Structure 1
């Protein structure tokens, strides 16, 4: 079960994010940037939160078990694509002093996961985020 993000009125900050692309024999930096852009688009909807860093997990996470899991999530969201690739990032961020009740206010969160999937060389789809 994942603890998922919230949307709100004030924008979250992604202006000074440190990105660690790690080492991948599967994805290029450009492909990772396309996925990171979707993560940042979601994150800016989190009231007053500050995204500090985002890191590519590893090629090991891009396996058939995780692709199957993400396809199950996609089916539950009525997405018709059959995804063949996945990618996972971990992020560190700080919550606002007025964080919603399901977050600890004015607190650092580490290793928060972001899962995306796509068809062969298609567009990334952000399917899950949280502590899974």
Structure 2
């Protein structure tokens, strides 16, 4: 019986370590703003794509995501920009919608890689999709 308990405890310990070092999104505050274009579900789908990418930011903590505005997202120039980015990557999808979120996050306490130590960053995230399609993260950063 002791052996079984020890094995279960070891397994739980290994599982708990599996998430260490990844970008943290558990205390994320989301501001959906006001949109006549996108539903909360539309935004949540885009946010899930952002969170997936952010999880690769080792040691960083995502604090907030804020929908930019319908003016930015229902803008033919920005949709054209998303399509230009798609073409530049030799992809063929034709986007009809884009969405943008501003974010703030903290870099790792000790820095490392491209990060300054323990600094708050503000970035924009741009995603695009064809009508009825899934969101694709096109660009992010300052």
Could you tell me the TM-score, scaled by structure 1's length?
A: 0.88
Distance 2:35 2:72 in 1: 11
Counterpart for residue 61 of structure 1: 72
State how far apart, in whole Å, the 2-side matches of 1:128 and 1:92 are.
Answer: 16
Structure with greater proportional helix content: 2
The aligned counterpart of 1:32 is: 43
**In structure 1, which of residues 61, 72, 90 is the aligned counterpart of residue 102 of structure 2?**
90
Query: How far apart are the structure 2 equivalents of 1:75 and 1:35?
Result: 21
1:123 corresponds to 2:137: no
Query: Are residues 1:42 and 2:78 paired?
Result: no
The corresponding residue for 2:116 is: 104
SS of 1:69's partner is helix
- Indicate the RMSD between aligned Cα atoms, in angstroms: 1.2
CA distance in 1, matches of 2:78, 2:111: 31
For 1:101 and 1:33, locate their aligned partners in 2 and report how far apart those are by CA, in whole Å.
30
Q: What is the CA-CA distance between 1:108 and the residue it aligns to?
A: 0.8
Instruction: Give the total of aligned pairs.
Output: 122
TM-score (norm 2): 0.82
Name the counterpart of 1:74.
86
- Based on CA coordinates, which of the two structures has the bigger radius of gyration? 2
Residue of 19, 22, 45 corresponding to 1:11: 22
Check conservation: 1:47, 1:99, Cα contact below 8 A.
Answer: no
